[in-house]
Structure 1
Amino acid sequence: MRGGWVYILASRYRSTLYIGVTANIAARAYQHKTGTGADFTRKYGVTLLVYAEQHTTIEEAIAREKALKKWKRDWKFRLIEEGNPDWIDLYDRING
């Protein structure tokens, strides 16, 4: 079994958010950056990787993604800001 990642993308500070799940965070973030990740992210320019959370299994990551999608918007903002208060793009950091 492979692990998984839950991630949050933003279009800019405290704006449109996208929550996703993947087994390969670097490849998935690249897809979103280049406009091949999802129709929603391409349409709304949601390309900044502002949050990423690793899980032992993909099933755990999927469960967490579903839970986060039910959260209130302010809760999501707080989660992001706990680890990334300036909403910097974490793309380069995850790609080494």
Structure 2
Amino acid sequence: MASVYILYSKRLNRFYTGSCHEIKLRIDQHLEKLYKNSFTAKTDDWELFFSIENIEYRQARHIEKHIKKMKSKQYIFNQ
């Protein structure tokens, strides 16, 4: 099973949307800056804003792409 999630950084006032198989592990990777050149490595104050868990990976990717395509904080807040 998989998850889609939205992280929020107060410092950057930005959201990050992703999908994964193990949400806790993936969020820890973001906070530990495992991928040094990634967007989430810019700060370490990411908080889980929203998640949908226990769905098929294909569905999680579809939801992630849809959210990213909207490119809107207002869209995220309205969900």
Q: Report which structure shows greater RCO (CA 8 Å, sep ≥6).
A: 2
Corresponding residue SS for 1:74: helix
- The answer to whether the 8 A contact 2:6-2:51 is kept is yes
Q: CA RMSD in A?
A: 2.2
Give the percent of matched residue pairs that are identical in Structure 1 and Structure 2: 27
Give the TM-score taking structure 1 as reference length.
0.69
State the one-letter code of the partner of 2:9.
S
Q: Go from structure 1 to structure 2 and tell me whether the alpha carbon gap of 1:19 and 1:42 turns closer, same or farther (over 3 Å shift).
A: same
Which residue in the other structure is 1:77 paired with? 77
User: Following TM superposition, by how much is the alpha carbon of 1:73 offset from its aligned partner in structure 2, in angstroms?
Assistant: 2.0
Q: Deviations over 1:2-60 (max 9, x none)?
A: x1111011111892110000000010011111111561001244621111112421000
Gaps of 5+ in 2: none
Q: Go from structure 1 to structure 2 and tell me whether the alpha carbon gap of 1:11 and 1:25 turns closer, same or farther (over 3 Å shift).
A: same
Which residue in the other structure is 1:94 paired with? none
Corresponding residue SS for 1:31: helix
- The answer to whether the 8 A contact 2:20-2:57 is kept is yes
Which consecutive aligned stretches of 4+ in structure 1 deviate over 4 angstroms post-superposition?
A: none
Higher strand share: 2
Gaps of 5+ in 1: 80-96
- The answer to whether the 8 A contact 1:16-1:46 is kept is no
Give the TM-score taking structure 2 as reference length.
0.82
State the one-letter code of the partner of 1:32.
H
1:61 aligns with 2:60: yes
- The answer to whether the 8 A contact 2:11-2:43 is kept is no
2:4 counterpart (6, 10, 13): 6
